[in-house]
Amino acid sequence: MNGLSKQCITDEKSIKLKKPHPLRSISWNKNIEEGDLDVPGTPRTPRTSTTPGHENCTFHHDLELDHRPPTREALLPEMSRSYRLLLSSLGEDPDRQGLLKTPERAAKAMLFFTKGYDQSLDDVINDAVFDEDHDEMVVVKDIEMFSMCEHHLVPFYGKVSIGYLPCKKILGLSKLARIVEIFSRRLQVQERLTKQIAIAVTKAVEPAGVAVVIEGVHMCMVMRGVQKINSKTVTSTMLGVFRDDPKTREEFLNLVHSK
């Protein structure tokens, strides 16, 4: 840890963007308030830390992790009707044999692609947070990710690497991949997805820092539009010591890039 004094991320002031926006010298939370991370639907509620020694820390997780639209299964008939209309708009006959069940199949597929809207962080973590005096970096890398570009409603996919520096609490390893599922299975932009994952890990274990790197391939840039089939988009969010200490960040990036 390079002798750097470690401070758990338990309040909103300790969460800052890796680089402030050049035009808006703003803290990360202001950024959030501007709507970058909002999913409409639920009020923002401050929460008090339950970590011993941090009981007085209140941290406002503006990120809405618990967005729950009306029961989504109930949307199936209307979505199916929309897909039927879409087939007609394409000049297809939605009543031909091969397409008869397509509207419903497509609606179910879309519900699956966006199933993250039905998941909350608390449900997914399922109390798999363990007290542990481990203060070395934990990295889970190359987590497969499939998401949907919110601009074109076509997929983007890739891999996510997450690192965090525990501060008396560790998270069940699979939960990092489950956090990726919560946020990737929504309509997204890659930048927001990266930030949301980092905030969720912060919320789950209040670590000294979190790092998230995503390498994504956007089908909207491959199958259409600019048609660059080999381009990859890399985004990162660095919080706490990963943001403040270049050596910690470098250690993470080395681990991520090692074979």
Residues noted as catalytic: 149-152, 190, 218, 220
Cβ proximity to ligand GTP: between 161 and 194 the closer is: 194
On whether the CB atoms of residues 129 and 204 are closer than 8 A, the answer is yes
Instruction: Check binding of 148 to Zn ion (CB under 5 A).
Output: no
Distance CA 73, CA 75 (A): 5
The one of ligand GTP, Zn ion, none whose footprint includes residue 189, by CB under 5 to 8 A per kind, is ligand GTP
Site string for Zn ion, 100-139 (x = CB under 5 A): ----------------------------------------
Per partner kind, with CB cut-offs from 5 to 8 A, the member of ligand GTP, Zn ion, none near residue 221 is ligand GTP
Q: Residue 46: name the closest of 16, 9, 10 by CA.
A: 10
Closest distance of CB 159 from ligand GTP, Å: 15
By CB under 6 A, what part of segment 112-151 binds ligand GTP?
149, 151
143-154 burial, b if ≥16 CB within 10 A, otherwise e?
Answer: bebebbbeeeee
Alpha helices in 98-189 (DSSP H): 102-113, 121-125, 173-184
Q: Which of the listed partners (Zn ion, ligand GTP, none) does 29 bind, with a CB threshold of 5 to 8 Å by partner kind?
A: none
Judged by CB under 6 A, the residue of 41, 69, 77, 225 near ligand GTP is: 225
CB 61 within 8 A of CB 49: no
Q: Tell me the residue nearest to ligand GTP as measured from the CB.
A: 225
Piece in contact with ligand GTP (CB under 6 A), picked from 25-33, 195-203, 204-212, 221-229: 221-229
Pairing of strands 169-171, 233-240: unpaired
Q: Which residue has the tokens 């660095």?
A: 238
Asked if 149 is part of the footprint of Zn ion (rule: CB under 5 A), the reply reads yes
Q: How far is CA 234 from the centre of its chain?
A: 14
189 binds ligand GTP (CB under 6 A): yes
Under the binding rule (CB under 5 A), the answer on residue 54 touching Zn ion is no
Q: For residue 217, state whether it binds ligand GTP (rule: CB under 6 A).
A: no
| C-alpha–C-alpha distance, residues 172 and 76, integer Å | 34
Task: Pick what 196 binds: ligand GTP, Zn ion, none; C-beta below 5 to 8 Å, kind-dependent.
Answer: none
- Bridge partners for 234 per DSSP: 215
Give the Å distances, CA to CA, from 242 to 32, 34, 63, 224, 253: 20, 24, 20, 36, 10
Is 236 within 8 Å of 74 (Cβ atoms)? no
Q: Which of 14, 119, 184, 190 binds ligand GTP (CB under 6 A)?
A: 190
Report the interface residues with Zn ion, using CB under 5 A: 149, 151-152, 220
Report the interface residues with ligand GTP, using CB under 6 A: 149, 151, 189-191, 218, 220-221, 225-226
